[in-house]
Amino acid sequence: MAAQLFDKLSIRTKLVVLLGLSLGLGLCVSSAVALYSTFAAERQSSLRALHQIAAITSENMRAALAFHDAQSAANILAPLHTNPHIRYAFVEDEKGLLLGQYRASATTEPEAAGWRKALQQAEAAGPDGLRQGMEHDHHYVIYPIDFDGKRIGTLSLRADNQAMYAKMRQFVVLQGGASVLILVGLLLLSWRLQLIFTRPILELLDGMLTGGEIKKEWAAR
């Protein structure tokens, strides 16, 4: 059906359609590459930001772990509420016992317990004991805390991906709008260019047809 409709089009329209399809395909490929690159960059940025928060919090947590001060540990974790994307955080001593935790206001106790269990079962740590990762709805950092070369505890942070997805949605809207504008502009330009290139050919064909008709008229006489 599409092939039949395409065959009925004029040469000029066929050129514009082919150019439009080529441009559209190129824009789709470039947009997909840009989207993937942006996602990878935002993923690393989110993990890096959470890693920095974990590093700063861990520095302040050493004394609380050294003296097993649960109240101090809770007080150190409390300022995490200033970051609305951090949903849960907890610190454990070297034996894996819970010393303190932070729960966002929207996080229930069963959710926190489930997240703690999931973080404890996270992928194996690297050479430095650091673990981090990202799932479809959250990312996490499990940061080891050392003192005088000895492991005295672990800080775990879990944050949602809402900020990253908000940036991705904004990027998709901007990229889509820019692609549409570019496609429309190139189609208008291609329409103008095909008029310039095809007009001499069509005029030549018209001249040949006109000349053929004149010859037929002379032959008929």
Going by pLDDT thresholds of 50, 70 and 90, the confidence category of residue 212 is low
Q: Supply the mean pLDDT for the chain.
A: 83
Whole-structure pTM value:
0.75
* 31 Cβ neighbours under 8 A, 6+ residues apart: 175, 176, 179
Residue 210 has pLDDT above 70, yes or no: no
Going by pLDDT thresholds of 50, 70 and 90, the confidence category of residue 88 is very high
Domains with residue ranges and CATH for the chain:
2-34+167-220 (no CATH), 48-161 (3.30.450.20)
Predicted pLDDT at 69: 94
Rounded Cα–Cα distance for residues 118 and 136 (Å): 15
* 69 Cβ neighbours under 8 A, 6+ residues apart: 63
Alpha-carbon separation of residue 23 from 29, 179, 185, 199 (angstroms): 10, 10, 11, 23
Burial class (CB in 10 A: 0-12, 13-18, 19+), 44: exposed
Mean pLDDT of 168-189: 86
Q: Are 37 and 168 in contact (CB under 8 A)?
A: no
The number of beta carbons lying within 10 Å of the beta carbon of residue 34 is 15
Predicted pLDDT at 153: 93
Residue 21 has pLDDT above 60, yes or no: yes
Output 124 or 215, whichever has higher pLDDT: 124
* Closest among 155, 165, 166 to 50, alpha carbons compared: 155
What's the distance, CA 92 to chain centroid?
33
